[in-house]
Amino acid sequence: MKKLVWLNGVVSPLESAMTTVQDHCYLYGDGLFEGIRIYGGKVFKLDEHLDRFYHGIKYLKYQMDISQPELKQIILDVCRQAEADNGYIRLNITRGTGLGLDPSKIDPKPNVMVMINTLALYPPEAYDKGLDVVTTSFKTIPADALDPRLKCIGKYAANILAKQEANSRGAGEGLMLNHQGYIAECTGDNIFLIQGGVVRTPDPSCGLLKGVTRDTVMNLAREAGYKVEEGFLTPFDLYAADEAFLTGTAAEVIPMVTIDGRLIGDGKPGPITKDLISRFRKHTCEGTAF
């Protein structure tokens, strides 16, 4: 696979792609992104990712002049040029170019990027053995400050700090609570737990990104006959869970076996988790061919 970048209409090798230092995202974190998977020469859940991307563009009032169908074709074309059988697409848009916070004082033409690359959040053995997770001291950004459905680049500073804390404590991932003490998400993943055969996950109002993989796994679980509930969960629910797992585009579906030094269930990936991992992996054969 060739690692390529499409930037404002120009395709170049990843190592030579450049943007201006006055890009509003470089200066202020004023940008949106999506991470999208390629499996077997097909782009997985492309339309769902683009829907979220364009909802964010509208929310932030970016002056995007590329339509959603046009951007979809650009992505597929760059994938073809990269000869990507399996890989990771990073899609970025920034507000424009110029120094100063005031959007009316900058060039409002967005800078748009499509990167074809690879990404693995966790080592392969973690998918068999499961992750150790700790609750971090960093909270998610409240919805009245920034809507959590927005995949905004700047807000990820909090997630990075939470990940750094988890690393310092020897954990594979960090759990983030909201300011009310409810479970929101992990630093780069949504979280699920299983109690008495019921698959439970935090309600979006708890301050989590409504993940594409999260929605996919919920649908797969319902199709398999599992009861799925969204609700308000605390660390106690995790401590008392029979199983737990995380989901995300980069993470896919990965078991979670400890939380804050406590075993989840017997400390091994559970049967429902394994079943949903298998169902998800089979489901990735569906996608948009290029």
Tell me the DSSP string of 90-148: EEEEE--B-SSS-GGGSB-PPEEEEEEE---SS-TTHHHH-EEEEE-SPPPPPTTTS-T
Give the residue numbers spanning the domain of 158: 126-283
The total domain count for the chain is 2
Contact 280, 253 (CB under 8 A): yes
Q: What's the confidence (pLDDT) of residue 17?
A: 96
Q: What is the mean pLDDT of the chain?
A: 97
Q: What's the confidence (pLDDT) of residue 120?
A: 87
266 and 139 fall within a common domain: yes
Output the CA torsion sign for 17, 22, 25, 27.
positive
Q: What's the confidence (pLDDT) of residue 121?
A: 87
70 and 168 fall within a common domain: no
Query: Domain ends where: 96, 117, 138?
Result: 117
The CATH number of residue 161's host domain is 3.20.10.10
22 and 82 fall within a common domain: yes
Q: Is residue 290 part of a domain?
A: no
Question: What residues in the chain have per-residue pLDDT under 50?
Answer: none
DSSP E strand stretches across the chain: 4-7, 10-13, 31-39, 42-43, 87-94, 111-117, 131-135, 173-177, 183-186, 190-195, 198-202, 228-231, 243-248, 252-259, 262-263, 288-289
Query: Domain ends where: 69, 87, 117?
Result: 117
Q: Is residue 288 part of a domain?
A: no
Q: Is residue 289 part of a domain?
A: no
Q: Is residue 193 part of a domain?
A: yes
Q: What's the confidence (pLDDT) of residue 83?
A: 96
64 and 29 fall within a common domain: yes
93 and 198 fall within a common domain: no
The CATH number of residue 42's host domain is 3.30.470.10
Backbone angles phi, psi at 92, to 5 degrees: -125, 145
205 and 259 fall within a common domain: yes
Tell me whether strands 31-39 and 10-13 are parallel, antiparallel or unpaired.
unpaired
Query: Domain ends where: 80, 98, 117?
Result: 117
175 and 198 fall within a common domain: yes
Q: Is residue 255 part of a domain?
A: yes
pTM above threshold 0.85: yes
What contacts 112, CB < 8 A, 6 or more positions away? 7, 8, 64, 66, 71, 92, 93
Q: Is residue 178 part of a domain?
A: yes
44 and 167 fall within a common domain: no
30 and 163 fall within a common domain: no
Q: How far is the C-alpha of 290 from the C-alpha of 287, rounded, in Å? A: 10
> DSSP 3-state assignment of 169?
coil
109 and 165 fall within a common domain: no
238 and 160 fall within a common domain: yes
Q: Is residue 201 part of a domain?
A: yes
253 and 160 fall within a common domain: yes
What contacts 157, CB < 8 A, 6 or more positions away? 29
Q: Is residue 12 part of a domain?
A: yes
Total H helices, total E strands in the chain: 8, 16
